[in-house]
Structure 1
Amino acid sequence: MLTRRDLLRIGMVTGAAAAGLGAIEIIGPVGDVSVDPGKTVGAVRKIPSMCQMCTTACGIIANVRDGRLLTIEGNPADPNSQGSICAKGVAGPSILYDPNRLLHPLKRVGKRGEGRWRRISWEEAYTEIADRLRVIRQSGRPEEFAFQQGRNRSSDIVSRFLNAFGTPSAFNHRALCSLNRRAAILATIGDSDWDLGDFENSRYILNFGCNWAEAHQGHIPVAIRMMRARERNNAKIVTFDARLSNTAALSDEWFCVKPGTDGLIALAMANVICTERLWDKEWFDTWSNYSAYDYARHVRQYTPERAEAESGVPAESIRRIAREFAEAAPRCTTICNRGSAAHRNGFYNDRAITVLNALVGNMGRVGGWCWHPQSAWDKKQIPEPAPVPDKPTARSLIAEAKDWPLANAWQNNKMRVGEIVYLWIKERRQRISALMTYNCDQAWSWPEASLVREVLADEELVPFHVCIDVMPSETSNLADIVLPWTTYLERWDIDSRPPQGLVDYVGLRQPVVGPLGESKDLREIFPELARRIGGGIERYFPWRTEQEYFEEYFRPVPGGFAHMRTAGVWQDPAKTPNYAPYERVLSEQELRGSETDEKTGIIYNGTDPKTGERQAIGIMIGGVARRGFSTPSRKLEVHSQFVADKGSEADKTISPLPVYEQIPAHRGELAEDQLIMISFKWNVHNAHRTMQSKWLQEIVHTNPAWINTATADRLGLRHGDWIEVTSFRPRDDQVPRGDGSRFGTLHTRVHVTEGVHPSVIAISHNAGRTTGGPVATNGRDRAGLPGHEPRPDRDADQVWWAGSLSVPQNDILPIYPDPVSGQQAYHDTIVSIRKIEDRA
């Protein structure tokens, strides 16, 4: 364990403020935005919008002069980010004005992957795409049109087009990001698939593998509230993580844990809290469906000594922290993310962590473990403009992913198992006649990226591929047609994120400059394709312009679209924070015509229109009709019969209680040369887009392998040595191709540090690009697309770090879904290490 003083002495992981603006070359014509929102200061227009340099979507103010973006700052009106943005947000202009941007539609003229293109018109692109898609739809097999998306902040227009077309073959990246976390929360409380934590009012925060200071869905909004909690409440932050991240360095204590043991630590803390009667027994017995004494018997097996033996955290530290956590209740909470969830046992890990909160009675309390039913804006208050198409009736074997019981177990929550899409296409489990990829460089960023590239290159498996993106990429290089997409600084969106202040809000992303070149957004592309495909699709796109659509969308907001263009955000002042929603007393109107089950106390009124079953609206607690939780029992489900039944339907066993399952490949002692490979993100990088930014690449453009000092000594390695890293498939008969065979190899350099677990090798995945221009690839890709031919006068010193180490970790990361949910186990791959003289 390291204290805060120790962490400061070791030094924080390299962080960064944004680089200076520098000279910017404008490429192509700058169009007229046609609106003049915000206010003018001197010659500078200040235009509110929303960032999309990562998934946090902070509110921003763009400073624009004469149609040219100068700088970006935070929007103080945004209730989540409150005027703060990170280095990625400040670096937006470097993406907008990147000389390697896609600015014109392109058509492949050579073999897929050769990089030979012909510039075409939008008319030619629209005609070919519409003709292809019309044939598929008229065939009666709309599911043969597949849509693969990355971080989609335009969900309304994407769903509208795909549903109107009738295809269910829409694949997201949830299983590569947060599936286990979401499934664990839904199984426990039912009200939300994401926890928020009332961090600003908390006094004690346990962090299980969440790097909120650098890379988290709530990033800046969470970070500012964490720091306020420390300043105002003297809050203590304790982090369990296999690597010394910036978050760990900002914590009061950091425990360097073995990957995948987070749930065991949480269960051991529950053991202490139960044994020493530090629980809120009254709350637990009232609001959970499992008694405190029964849970005490369940966690008796998870002793601090057992947790120490597997995780490395001293038993006495576990006891002390459990006592401190319980003493701070209810103003205590946990936070976790991929460090706990992205494992073979991640669903159980996060179930254990969630129930730890219930044990001390902090659920929904001020300063406690909180949530909000809206993961974005209130869609009942601000509904999508009609007409809205029905969901498809066609079936997609890949999208349904029935091999994983919890992948799509909850209604209205699409949890696609994205990492198996290309494996199943290769195995011909479902025919794909056309694929459209959008903002998702899966040929570089997916596990077994080499398999993705193999499938995309095969014209029998994928006869037609359209890629829509801002930048050239490994994925666009394997397309037939590439459509130039606008950056987030040139397009319209309705957007918001889970509200850290527990009150939902809505935001507007609007163009701050006109689109460069011939780039277009989906909101222009999809309506035009719908009109050309015909067959009734076009009736769902009656608006002539994007502005007309948003005029209608924001009609329920006071001041409407005009207010949103000026302020950028709206929050209903009548709403209050979502504290303890389960305690709300049901109204007389809600109870009119209801009936109560005498045995369970569940109150029913009406039937569910989708299932035809009785609709539960609440539960009797102490003679009072209350809302309760949105679970089958209307209580917090420590014991989830729902997930156990889902497992039985799929002939798999899922424990209804939080348990610890050791990762099969991690059992016993590893061989002398073996380590557990984990992945991480830098604070200045997100997905493939950030590596296009010269400002951000100048800060971090390399990804050596972190190895502990003691491990390096044992293997005879020194800082900077070259090593060969060989990965192995999991030895696990419950996952695809889990035969333990050798998988892939890469060569990299060693970064020797105390800041990583001795059994771990940590490699950042934000590197290793081969396509996208010299900035993204550290000088490796200098091939020019039509209209982007290299210019020696401009490119001579474009990349001063050319040739720096940059390796593709995803090429040696095997597909490894959690058998329960399908979450990719990013942090469980076993690798062998061998010192080499050079990388040849």
Structure 2
Amino acid sequence: MPTEHHSDPDLSWTLTRRDLLRIGMVAGAAVAGLGTIEIIDRAADDPAGQRKTAGTVHKIPSMCQMCTTACGIIANVRDGRLLTIEGNPADPNSRGSICAKGVAGPSILYDPSRLLHPLKRAGRRGEGRWRRISWEEAYTEIADRLRDIRRSGRPEEFAFQQGRNRSSDIVSRFLNAFGTPSAFNHRALCSLNRRAAILATIGDSDWDLGDFENSRYILNFGSNWAEAHQGHIPVAIRMMRARERNNAKIVTFDARLSNTAAVSDEWFCVKPGTDGLIALAMANVICTERLWDKEWFDTWSNHSADDYARHVRQYTPERAEAESGVPAEAIRRVAREFAEAAPRCTTICNRGSAAHRNGFYNDRAITVLNALVGNMGRVGGWCWHPMSAWDKKRIPEPGPVPEKPSARSPIAEAEDWPLANAWDNKMRVGEIVYLWIKERRQRISALMTYNCDQAWSWPEANLVREVLADEELVPFHVCIDVMPSETSNLADIVLPWTTYLERWDIDSRPPQGLVDYVGLRQPVVSPLGESKDLREIFPELARRIGDGMERYFPWRTQEEYFDEYFRAVPGGLAHMKAAGVWQDPAKKPNYAPYERILTKEELRDSEIDEKTGIVYSGTDPESGKRRAIGIMIDGVARQGFSTPSRKVEVYSQFVADKGGEAGKTISPLPIYEQIPAHRGGLGEDQLIMISFKWNVHNAHRTMQSKWLQEIVHTNPAWINSATAACLGLRHGDWIEVTSFRPRDEQVPGGDGSRFGTLRTRVHVTEGVHPSVIAISHNAGRTTGGPVASNGRDRAALPGHEAVPDKDAERIWWAGSLSVPQNDILPIYPDPVSGQQAYHDTIVSIRRIEDRA
């Protein structure tokens, strides 16, 4: 189908035949072992790029980290130089496939703007003046600062802010050995509502793994699995196989025509935040027409099917149509089709349903929809696995392992949000960290940031930059990353981190095939420059801080550590280095684990609660309460679910009680709550602003890749054609977008006041809801080199001046439109769990003459 093309570089993000040819050339060159960029290796003594390429090509298995999916990869290396990257067929999740981001790995490894030497600030924070220092100087200053904090008896004053952390073992080891609980992550900016909804309902996991490959009907609520999902390639593979083998139908509800919506059988363009109402209306139809699996629901739910039918009676398809825009008859038809396909049907959802002020309830309603048709844990149904990574009982972390800290961190505990830390897998509420530091809710004497770039990627990024620039609020800041960034620009010391292609890790992701596995990330080339990994940095800091920390880092080399780690794997580290992955062939997919009959050994010394049927054995060491191990079903002791009732908790007293403890009301049943800021309709010039990710970008580091940035490097605002006509806007017009804080007393600063403004251009399309303005947040960099910033940043860091950057002269898109959406996104946490409501901000639109 021909694609409209605009000669203006600010709007050239649409793909034309020329663009497709360019992308094809990149992919073809990668396969051939050539390069479409001038690859510069400062570690090699060859600044002119004349190095010969003779020798054997070695295939080295490892794991990608260009996004969170962590697909298995094979690196093709010749004479110590990475040529290309391909998928590892042995990886049970990705099965030998990788995406464009994975192919683009070499462009990150050999990026001319990489951090390659330790740097120390030589001017004011944010001024961009640096001097190169030695690792000895860096280690000494950092260790001295941290030692003083630790000896003060206030270890919580050392805070660690992480982004995509695939080295959780070493990070936890160092922080726990230090004694600080002040570990801040980005889960509330990513998936907190989704995880909380699943934990509240089944308890066995915080992540669902629909058995898509064997499914016949998939309801997708706001998950862009074809472009940007935690299970991206593994999920996409299985979706397409379901289409091919089972003639599976995929129905997508989303506010924007994503690539996922485009490959679905049906796409319903929904108003943001109404996904849960649609799911409840479907439940209404299924209950009213008795299309349910009543026997399963009454057996395995703690709430009867008849009671749930009474609850959902209020959520009619007509009510859902009025708020969501999806026709009532379509809701009825899809509900019937979904139920008819049971149990080989499932749902999938993500930020489109969860990243809202009502996201917890949305995802609760969607999750319970599966229970209603009895597909939970069934072949082709809604499934899960108890392990989100490898089997840590069989493959334990090498000892000695430090105990968890006893110190307290008000920011990490985030008690204002009842479900943020209600379960063992602590969620944190990342978007409020810097607001609370500014409000002095917790003193921070030293901050270490790692692979995060919160000064660009966080909501209210301007607030983050303000706090990081304030030496009273953050007296000492160390940034560890691969690339210079807005965050590293506000540090006192910057440490050059290795890319995923130069370091070691044990890693795996939730298993899409429902059988856990373990993978090895190993160096495929030697680290460039003076870059180091945490596995080198933290043991050295621990030895220098001393006072007992060093005893938790007894290994001499990283290989020694991993040799011990993989001792339980047949063939040990040697097998992992050769294959890259291991999966126990004796394990079976995790289908219907709740039905497992307890063994005689498990039942020895057990007792049964006559009222609830719950089987208890022993006591929980942390709570001191009786330990539930199963439940009696029709006279048989079965494993059940890991919830308080050992059943699917359609009615969750646990979350209701957590709300009561925090002085908030949380409904124990799935409900629909209209987003307060959306009540009463929108003004004539007002829209709901949503964000999205492109398939070639992820988080903060892909914009450093010339291969990927060349494909997508700009982010105009998507506006529906009817809306544009009402506002007098045409394609390419300049607009001013002004955001407002939510009018919501339950969130910080929820007074409805004006917040921020940006100027951008309009992309008029039918592919977005009429009440929506959609802007990709994968743009708007001002730091990180000329590729990341569309030519804005050309400053050379110390140690880089003598290296020619030929690519900087080839940026044909220099000066293209690239706006930082995060600067006008206010902090807006779901009051139940703390998930950032990325898709709820109200903005006003005003046409202007130009960007000036």
TM over 0.5: yes
In the other structure, the counterpart of 1:454 is: 466
Deviation at 1:668, TM superposition (A): 1.9
Q: 1:144 aligns with which of 127, 146, 157?
A: 157
After superposition, the C-alpha distances for 1:179-218 in whole angstroms (9 at most, x for unaligned) are 0000000000000000010000000000000000000000
Distance (whole Å) between structure 2 residues aligned to residue 303 and residue 387 of structure 1: 57
Q: 2:497 aligns with which of 482, 485, 490?
A: 485
Partner-residue secondary structure (3-state), 2:384:
coil
Deviation at 1:789, TM superposition (A): 2.7
After superposition, the C-alpha distances for 1:14-57 in whole angstroms (9 at most, x for unaligned) are 596655432443332259xxxxxxxxx97100000000000000
After superposition, the C-alpha distances for 1:251-287 in whole angstroms (9 at most, x for unaligned) are 0000000000000000000000000000000000000
In the other structure, the counterpart of 1:591 is: 603
Deviation at 1:7, TM superposition (A): 13
In the other structure, the counterpart of 1:343 is: 356
Distance (whole Å) between structure 1 residues aligned to residue 714 and residue 37 of structure 2: 24
Matches within 5 A, 1:88-103: 88-103=101-116
Describe the shift of the 1:321–1:358 C-alpha distance in structure 2 as closer, same or farther (beyond 3 A).
Answer: same
Deviation at 1:688, TM superposition (A): 1.3
Distance (whole Å) between structure 2 residues aligned to residue 636 and residue 767 of structure 1: 42
Identity %: 89
Describe the shift of the 1:767–1:281 C-alpha distance in structure 2 as closer, same or farther (beyond 3 A).
Answer: same
In the other structure, the counterpart of 2:10 is: none
Deviation at 1:795, TM superposition (A): 5.1
Distance (whole Å) between structure 2 residues aligned to residue 240 and residue 334 of structure 1: 11
Matches within 5 A, 1:129-168: 129-168=142-181
Distance (whole Å) between structure 1 residues aligned to residue 406 and residue 533 of structure 2: 28
Partner-residue secondary structure (3-state), 1:73:
strand
Partner-residue secondary structure (3-state), 2:199:
helix
In the other structure, the counterpart of 2:766 is: 754
After superposition, the C-alpha distances for 1:591-650 in whole angstroms (9 at most, x for unaligned) are 000000000000000000011000000000000000000000000000000000000000
In the other structure, the counterpart of 2:51 is: none
Q: 2:314 aligns with which of 301, 304, 316?
A: 301
After superposition, the C-alpha distances for 1:286-344 in whole angstroms (9 at most, x for unaligned) are 00000000000000000000000000000000000000000000000000000000000
In the other structure, the counterpart of 2:9 is: none
In the other structure, the counterpart of 2:560 is: 548
> Does the CA-based 8 Å contact 1:775-1:798 persist in structure 2?
no
Give unmatched runs, 5+ long, in structure 1. Answer: 32-40
In the other structure, the counterpart of 1:210 is: 223
In the other structure, the counterpart of 1:197 is: 210
Q: Does 1:333 align with 2:354?
A: no
Report the TM-score when normalising by structure 2: 0.95
Distance (whole Å) between structure 1 residues aligned to residue 830 and residue 89 of structure 2: 40
Distance (whole Å) between structure 2 residues aligned to residue 390 and residue 797 of structure 1: 52
Distance (whole Å) between structure 1 residues aligned to residue 2 and residue 495 of structure 2: 51
Partner-residue secondary structure (3-state), 1:726:
strand
In the other structure, the counterpart of 1:231 is: 244
**AA at the equivalent of 2:552:** Y
Distance (whole Å) between structure 2 residues aligned to residue 314 and residue 7 of structure 1: 30
In the other structure, the counterpart of 1:257 is: 270
> Does the CA-based 8 Å contact 1:13-1:245 persist in structure 2?
no
Find runs of 4+ consecutive structure 1 residues off by over 6 angstroms: 5-8, 790-793
Q: 2:376 aligns with which of 357, 363, 368?
A: 363
Distance (whole Å) between structure 1 residues aligned to residue 518 and residue 41 of structure 2: 33
Q: 2:646 aligns with which of 631, 634, 641?
A: 634
**AA at the equivalent of 1:50:** M
Partner-residue secondary structure (3-state), 2:567:
coil
Q: 1:48 aligns with which of 53, 61, 65?
A: 61
Deviation at 1:219, TM superposition (A): 0.1
Report the TM-score when normalising by structure 1: 0.97
Q: Does 1:565 align with 2:574?
A: no
Q: 2:670 aligns with which of 639, 658, 665?
A: 658
> Does the CA-based 8 Å contact 1:782-1:790 persist in structure 2?
no
Distance (whole Å) between structure 1 residues aligned to residue 379 and residue 55 of structure 2: 44
Partner-residue secondary structure (3-state), 1:555:
helix
Partner-residue secondary structure (3-state), 1:416:
coil
In the other structure, the counterpart of 2:43 is: 29
> Does the CA-based 8 Å contact 2:201-2:643 persist in structure 1?
yes
After superposition, the C-alpha distances for 1:555-611 in whole angstroms (9 at most, x for unaligned) are 000000000000000000010000000000000000000000000000000000011
Distance (whole Å) between structure 2 residues aligned to residue 445 and residue 568 of structure 1: 32
**AA at the equivalent of 1:355:** V
Partner-residue secondary structure (3-state), 2:213:
helix
Partner-residue secondary structure (3-state), 1:797:
helix
After superposition, the C-alpha distances for 1:502-542 in whole angstroms (9 at most, x for unaligned) are 00000000000000000000000000000000010000000
Partner-residue secondary structure (3-state), 1:317:
helix
Matches within 5 A, 1:179-190: 179-190=192-203
In the other structure, the counterpart of 1:34 is: none
Deviation at 1:794, TM superposition (A): 2.2
Describe the shift of the 1:483–1:355 C-alpha distance in structure 2 as closer, same or farther (beyond 3 A).
Answer: same
> Does the CA-based 8 Å contact 2:55-2:79 persist in structure 1?
no
**AA at the equivalent of 1:591:** L
Q: Does 1:538 align with 2:553?
A: no
Distance (whole Å) between structure 1 residues aligned to residue 176 and residue 597 of structure 2: 38
Partner-residue secondary structure (3-state), 1:488:
coil
Q: 1:604 aligns with which of 599, 603, 616?
A: 616
In the other structure, the counterpart of 1:392 is: 405
In the other structure, the counterpart of 2:76 is: 63
> Does the CA-based 8 Å contact 2:112-2:805 persist in structure 1?
no
Distance (whole Å) between structure 1 residues aligned to residue 156 and residue 680 of structure 2: 45
**AA at the equivalent of 2:73:** I
Q: How large is the RMSD of aligned CA atoms in angstroms?
A: 1.6
In the other structure, the counterpart of 1:721 is: 733
After superposition, the C-alpha distances for 1:720-743 in whole angstroms (9 at most, x for unaligned) are 000000000000000000000000
Partner-residue secondary structure (3-state), 1:390:
coil
Q: 2:757 aligns with which of 724, 745, 748?
A: 745
Distance (whole Å) between structure 1 residues aligned to residue 770 and residue 411 of structure 2: 39
In the other structure, the counterpart of 2:829 is: 817
Deviation at 1:792, TM superposition (A): 7.0
Deviation at 1:116, TM superposition (A): 0.2
**AA at the equivalent of 2:518:** V
> Does the CA-based 8 Å contact 2:787-2:808 persist in structure 1?
no
> Does the CA-based 8 Å contact 1:308-1:315 persist in structure 2?
yes
In the other structure, the counterpart of 2:657 is: 645
Distance (whole Å) between structure 2 residues aligned to residue 737 and residue 796 of structure 1: 42
Deviation at 1:787, TM superposition (A): 1.7
Q: Does 1:613 align with 2:625?
A: yes
In the other structure, the counterpart of 2:140 is: 127
Deviation at 1:667, TM superposition (A): 1.1
Matches within 5 A, 1:105-116: 105-116=118-129
Distance (whole Å) between structure 1 residues aligned to residue 37 and residue 507 of structure 2: 31
Partner-residue secondary structure (3-state), 1:335:
strand
Partner-residue secondary structure (3-state), 1:554:
helix
Q: Does 1:428 align with 2:461?
A: no
> Does the CA-based 8 Å contact 2:791-2:808 persist in structure 1?
no
Partner-residue secondary structure (3-state), 2:76:
strand
Deviation at 1:683, TM superposition (A): 0.2
Q: Does 1:836 align with 2:848?
A: yes
Partner-residue secondary structure (3-state), 1:513:
coil
In the other structure, the counterpart of 1:624 is: 636
Q: 1:80 aligns with which of 93, 116, 119?
A: 93
Partner-residue secondary structure (3-state), 2:568:
coil
> Does the CA-based 8 Å contact 1:644-1:655 persist in structure 2?
yes
Distance (whole Å) between structure 2 residues aligned to residue 761 and residue 139 of structure 1: 50
In the other structure, the counterpart of 2:680 is: 668
Distance (whole Å) between structure 2 residues aligned to residue 165 and residue 793 of structure 1: 41
Describe the shift of the 1:140–1:752 C-alpha distance in structure 2 as closer, same or farther (beyond 3 A).
Answer: same
> Does the CA-based 8 Å contact 1:62-1:512 persist in structure 2?
yes
Deviation at 1:798, TM superposition (A): 3.2
Task: Give the number of equivalent residue pairs.
Answer: 823
Distance (whole Å) between structure 2 residues aligned to residue 7 and residue 195 of structure 1: 36
> Does the CA-based 8 Å contact 2:496-2:532 persist in structure 1?
yes
